[in-house]
A = this chain, B = another copy of it.
Amino acid sequence: LQLPTKATHQQTREFNVRLALRTLYDSGPISRAEISRRTRLTRTTVSDVIAGLVADGLVEEVGRGPSSGGKAPILLRVVPDARQVIGLDLGEEAFTGALVDLRGEVRHEVSLPVGGRDGDDALALVDVLVERLLALADRPLLGIGVGTPGVIDAVTGVIRWAVNLDWQDLPLGRVLEERFGLPVQVVNDSRAAAVAVHTFGLAGARVSNLVAIKVGRGIGAGIVLGGELVHGDGFGAGEIGHLVVADSGERCRCGRSGCLETVASAGAIVRSARRGNGTGREWRTAQRLGLDEVLRDFQRGERRARTAVLAAGRYLGAAIAAIIGVMDIHRVVLHGSVTAFGDPWLDAVRDATGARALGLLTSGVRIDVVNERANLAVLGASAMLMTNQLGLSLAR
């Protein structure tokens, strides 16, 4: 929690409200006395703050806990569906949106095909999606969280560069705030996914240090350290798709070669399995069409598909070994379309990580696939919005 540099009475109160709410969110159901002990706020302040939260419908009493001698204390918890957030994922194929509650439950989901739209047309499609979800909301709305590929300034909500949508220096946060009169949080989709895993404890990973890696058309990660999302100096932390892991190989869209994306992404697998060697638009079409086909071949045990998939897994493992070697994070969560290749692929990832990382560092490492039907970018962008509005977790 950041201390404001100039504290007014109003700021102090808001600070206390957020502190109490986060404590309840993380540790509830607990009593007022327990909140006071954990937050260092006085009993009077806690009672006052909780009264306000109960009046707002955010907190409720849920019975009594065990007595420690005197009267059994009343337990409190955050009401899961006290508020809803509109979460969006501006993916390459489709713009997906949902109404998400405070515990990450998805109430309604809407998906609109992008159909090649970019620029203003893509922005208009975002409007349509938000309008649809606004009509479905049946709880007070906290705001809109947007996950999108590209380099995003998560503080100002400016999309610096989203190549597929042809957006450059687009102040998407401000645009949506003005249009819908709601608070907006814009964040890179891979970063968002890591926040979702952390905040909602997906794949059993409610831990303070984790890396969540999206392995799909592109490859990107989100890093949570000490319960906080790592942004980096230029909001590029986790941009691991362009880690150089192969000594030679195909030219990457970034201009260099040997990048992780060229050897471990969905496209890399399709090209390797098909021995296709087109570039540019062709290349992307091949990716789009090919993954399901390769998956069928792979499941039938077809040799080329198998070789391609396992090689991709090994390259990813090498990159994970580097990440672990640098930061000593024990919890790695994988998601994205390539995880469909299942255990044989995951074993290749794990073996390569173990072979390339220092023994002392890998002994406690867990690499898992998160099996969520819900869209992680939608959940994570929602989680960041909730955190900014209510202070629910440390991931900002």
Determine if A254 and B358 form an interchain contact, defined as CB atoms under 8 angstroms apart: yes
Residue of B nearest to A359 (CB): B254
> A interface, how many residues as a size bin?
35 or more
Identify A240's interface contact among B15, B255, B325, CB under 8 A.
B325
Determine if A330 and B234 form an interchain contact, defined as CB atoms under 8 angstroms apart: yes
A56-75 near B? 1/0 per residue, CB < 8 Å: 00000000000000000000
Residue of B nearest to A246 (CB): B247
Q: Does A226 contact B (CB under 8 A)?
A: yes
Residue of B nearest to A160 (CB): B360
Q: List B contacts of A55 (CB < 8 A).
A: none
Q: Does A244 contact B (CB under 8 A)?
A: yes
Identify A327's interface contact among B11, B209, B230, B255, CB under 8 A.
B230
> A228 to B255, alpha carbons, bound, how many Å?
35
> A329 to B12, alpha carbons, bound, how many Å?
33
Q: Does A308 contact B (CB under 8 A)?
A: no
Using a CB–CB cutoff of 8 Å, the interface residues on chain A facing chain B are 3-7, 11-12, 15, 37-40, 151, 161, 209, 221, 223, 225-226, 228, 230-240, 242-244, 247, 254-256, 318, 321-323, 325-331, 355-361, 363-364
Apart from A232-B327, A254-B359, list 12 A-B contacts with CB within 8 A: A226-B228, A230-B327, A233-B329, A233-B330, A234-B328, A236-B358, A236-B360, A239-B325, A240-B325, A242-B357, A244-B356, A255-B359
